[in-house]
Each structure stands twice: as C-alpha cells, then as structure tokens.
Amino acid sequence: MASEANPPFPMASEASNYPNVYSTPIKVPRPGPTFFNSQELVTFHVGSGTEKQTFLAHKESQSYTLEDVEAGVFRLMLQWLYGQKIEYYLTQAEANSLRTPQHTEEQRKLVYGKIEERQRLLVRLWVLAEMLMLPRLQNLVVDELDSIQRDWKNSFPWRCLNYVYANTAEYSPLRRLILAH
C-alpha cells in the first residue's frame, strides 16, 4: 500500500507533467461473426410486391418478413450487423470529380443525387434501427448524416421530412438532427 508521502497516482498539481492518456479514445477491435454453425440461416423477406427481395444471414433457422423495409436499407443494416460499419457510397473517382474546378454539371448532379439517396436510405435505416432496438446503429447513422452534411455541405433533403415525422416520436433525436441542419 502506498504511503501518504508517495501516492500511487500523481497529485493534481503534478498532472501537467504527465501525458494525458485519456484525451484519445482507445479503439478496441470488435469481434466479428464466428460462424461456428454457419449452416443455420435467418431468411429475411424485405419489401412487398414486385420490390420484394430475400436476404439470408447466418443465425438460427428462422424467417422474417419486413414488408415496410426497402432492400437498400436492409442491405445497409446487414453491412452493419456483419462489420459494425456501413460501406462508403461514392467511388473515389466520384468524390474526386467534385474536388476539381473542371467538373461538369452532369457530374455534380450524379454525385449529389447519390448523396441525397444515401441520406434517404440512412433516415430509413435509423427508423428501422429504432424499431429493432439497435441504438449503436442509430448512433452510426447520425454520425454518417453529420459527416455528409459536413463533408459535402449538403443540406438535408426536405423530401425525407414527411417520412421522419410520420415514423418517429415527437422528441426523436432524428427529428432534432434534421431541424439542426
């Protein structure tokens, strides 16, 4: 046991002499899927009518139908389930094309069209994550929406506003985020 004269940790007045190890978060890798029993699958039936698609994911042998979920939204959710991240939505060439002064109006429309579609899918993914009680995914979606707004100076597409208000609670963080942008 340390004596009063030599405490085990530096005193507050001495703290400035030591590096602040708490200022940078430590990144601990998340374990990926183990696939111990990769023969067991979950079948998801996503969408309705002619837009209906089937997805298989490793888990218990069960089947679910999510008629109100678009295939693009579910694809993003599966990316997150398997990798705890969502893949980027623009190619490097598309991202670079707007960084040069000689980009064309057609290039701009193409890229910003993809950005708006990404925002639309992310909003729907946030609502799905709320329904499935996946708060980490909701947080990632908020970070992604913030990143799009910051990196591309792209305001939130107003066409998503009705969807957000129809599918979220009155004091929803997603509503507050949209109004802040």
Q: pLDDT of 24-61, one tens digit each?
A: 444 445 555 444 444 567 787 888 888 888 887 766 54
Whether 173 and 88 share a structural domain? yes
Q: Is residue 141 part of a domain?
A: yes
Which two tokens mark 129? 């994550």
pLDDT at 124 over 90: yes
Do residue 114 and residue 181 come from a single domain?
A: yes
For a pLDDT cut of 70, what percent of the chain falls above it?
Answer: 73
- What is the pLDDT, as a whole number, of residue 93? 77
3-state secondary structure of 156: coil
φ, ψ (nearest 5 deg) of residue 42: -105, 135
Alpha helices in the chain (DSSP H): 71-83, 92-97, 105-131, 135-152, 161-167, 173-180
Let me know whether 64 and 124 are in one domain: no
Last residue of a domain, one of 69, 87, 114: 69
Q: What is the mean pLDDT of residues 72-76?
A: 89
Higher pLDDT, 84 or 108: 84
What angle do the packed helices 71-83 and 105-131 form, to 10 degrees? 70
Q: Give the pLDDT confidence score for residue 5 in this predicted structure.
A: 56
pLDDT digits (tens, 9 = 90+) for 164-173: 999 999 888 8
Strand partners, 56: 43
**Cα–Cα distance for residue pair 146/142, rounded to 1 Å:** 6
Residues 109, 179 within the same domain: yes
128 and 170 co-located in one domain:
yes
| Residue 65 shares a structural domain with residue 129 | no
Instruction: Give how many domains the chain has, as a whole number.
Output: 2
- Quote the domain boundaries for residue 48: 40-69
- In a 10 Å sphere around its CB, with 0-12 CB exposed, 13-18 middle and 19+ buried, how is residue 105 labelled? exposed
Phi and psi (nearest 5°) for 94? -65, -45
Q: What is the pLDDT of residue 103?
A: 77
**Residue tagged 């598309």 (tokens):** 94
Percentage of the chain modeled with pLDDT above 90? 17
**Once rounded to an integer, what is the mean pLDDT over residues 105-128?**
89
CA 160 to chain centre: 17
